[in-house]
Amino acid sequence: MSTTDDTYSVTAGSSCVKQLSLKEKWWHILDTWKIGIIPLPLFAMAGLLIAIDCLDGKLPSDIVVMVATLAFFGFACGEFGKRLPFIGKMGAAAICATFIPSALVYYGLLPDVVVESTTKFYKSTNILYLYICCIIVGSIMSMDRKVLIQGFMRIFFPMLCGEVVGMLVGMGVGLALGMEPFQIFFFLILPIMAGGVGEGAIPLSIGYATLLHMDQGVALGRILPIVMLGSLTAIVISGSLNQLGKRYPHLTGEGQLMPSAKNATTESNTPTVASGKTDVTTIASGALLAVLLYMVGMLLHKLIGLPAPVGMLFAAVGLKLAHGVSPRLLEGSQVVYKFFQTSVTYPILFAVGVAITPWNELVAAFTISNLLVIVSTVAALVTTGFFVGKKIGMHPIDVAIVSCCQSGQGGTGDVAILTAGNRMQLMPFAQIATRIGGAINVSVALLVLGNFLV
């Protein structure tokens, strides 16, 4: 309460004091009782308004209504996951925010109008890419330049070692279970490391359709569930690594790959987000910077075929290294990054679960042999990244979480994995692992397969 209010409450009658006390209680409820980031009264109000719209048989898919809808369902699923015993600390929030909506859609428990509006909004706006570009640009702009260079130069070695060991372990487990080597590698191990759906599973299914003379839909139906199970495994491992870091703090940089970054996450002449001096225009400029850099990535994709998020990543790194952004604009980018990290993650995951995560295909792939190969492959990949990262002087837990993203479901998988591991600052490196690593794996594997069949 302000001094003026306190003075008034003393000089006024007892009824005014009681009224002020009720107001304070109401403010306390708004400030402390929350579902995710949403105050409980506003959460209840959102649910009521959404229900009224659904009763009319039509839920508008415009951005105003969808912000409330995705926030309501996304934070509800995330909060449920956080409160689960034991697994709540191992990434269950990200898992629940993604897979509970998928199950609700499959079993018809989510109103059709919500499903239709969410799917239309997600696919028409490409909001995932807005999220990723703001996260990538903000995290890059918050890094120390020297650490940024060292991190990008060193991360490739543990990634490469992890992939080699993961493939060998996965093949060994599959052969021990009596599975065919061709099936193990091309329909289990490779989809795990293909880089997601758009850049991995779909190109892989096209290649298989051409080389193996099979229908692309059949190939994609066999690949897609493995991609999702690999991502699910990586989410659980990432959450476990986060808990390991809390127990053994010396093994983690809490989002920094290099030990030298522990006390220098920003340039020495760059103000921090906590300074409280960032004005609205600076924040808006930071958001526009992220969008423009993504447009640069789109242009690079048209010119040289580089995935837009990777092109944007390289452009942001170049801008950072060239001191092309002022300290004030850097601070604006960091605020935008924090906003998207805390406020948009779970709504995005809910939309992903509703729009592009087929529950029936995921369940169909849940065979013991498939699970053993998938879990052993991802675990070996991540464990190798952990120990190789430690050997070359990097924070092993943070390197291992980036390694998890090598098994992620593209950009959506990176979001879920880094959310489970509480390491959203690693998004630039996660994109390298997913986009570039996946593209290389798919290209080399199809080249080998083509030569093998000739």
Model pLDDT for residues 87-109, shown as the tens digit of each residue: 777 777 888 888 899 899 999 99
* pLDDT at 330 exceeding the cut of 70: yes
DSSP states along 367-399: -HHHHHHHHHHHHHHHHHHHHHHHHTTS-HHHH
| pLDDT > 90: percent of the chain | 36
User: What pLDDT does 20 receive?
Assistant: 59
Calculate the dihedral angle through the C-alpha atoms of 48, 52, 54, 59, rounding to the nearest 10 degrees.
-90
Identity of the highest mean pLDDT range in 258-262, 263-267, 359-363, 424-428 = 424-428
Identity of the highest mean pLDDT range in 190-199, 281-290, 316-325 = 281-290
Rounded Cα distance between 444 and 342, Å, is: 38
412 or 174, which is more confident? Answer: 174
128 or 403, which is more confident? Answer: 403
Residue 396, token pair as written in the block? 């092993």
Furthest C-alpha separation in the chain: 94
* Conformation bin of residue 57: beta by default, left when phi > 0, alpha when psi is -120 to 50: left
User: What pLDDT does 386 receive?
Assistant: 95
Output the average pLDDT for the chain.
83
User: Which of 36, 35, 390, 382 lies closest to 234, judged by CA?
Assistant: 382
Rounded Cα distance between 256 and 443, Å, is: 31
User: What pLDDT does 151 receive?
Assistant: 77
Identity of the highest mean pLDDT range in 190-204, 267-281, 320-334 = 320-334
pLDDT in tens, 26-79: 888 898 899 999 999 999 999 999 999 898 888 988 999 999 999 999 999 999
Give me the mean pLDDT over the 330-339 stretch: 90
CB atoms closer than 10 angstroms to residue 245:
24
Calculate the dihedral angle through the C-alpha atoms of 219, 224, 225, 230, rounding to the nearest 10 degrees.
130
DSSP states along 293-318: HHHHHHHHHHHH---HHHHHHHHHHH
Phi first, then psi: what are they for 35, rounded to 5°? -110, 105
- pTM for this prediction: 0.75
Give me the mean pLDDT over the 318-345 stretch: 89
Helix (H) or strand (E) holding 289: helix 280-304
The b/e string for 270-292 (b: 16+ C-beta within 10 A; e otherwise) is: bbebeeeebeeebbebbbebbee
User: What pLDDT does 217 receive?
Assistant: 63
pLDDT band, very low/low/confident/very high, at 453 (cuts 50, 70, 90): low
Cross-strand pairs, 35: 38
User: What pLDDT does 152 receive?
Assistant: 78
* pLDDT at 301 exceeding the cut of 70: yes
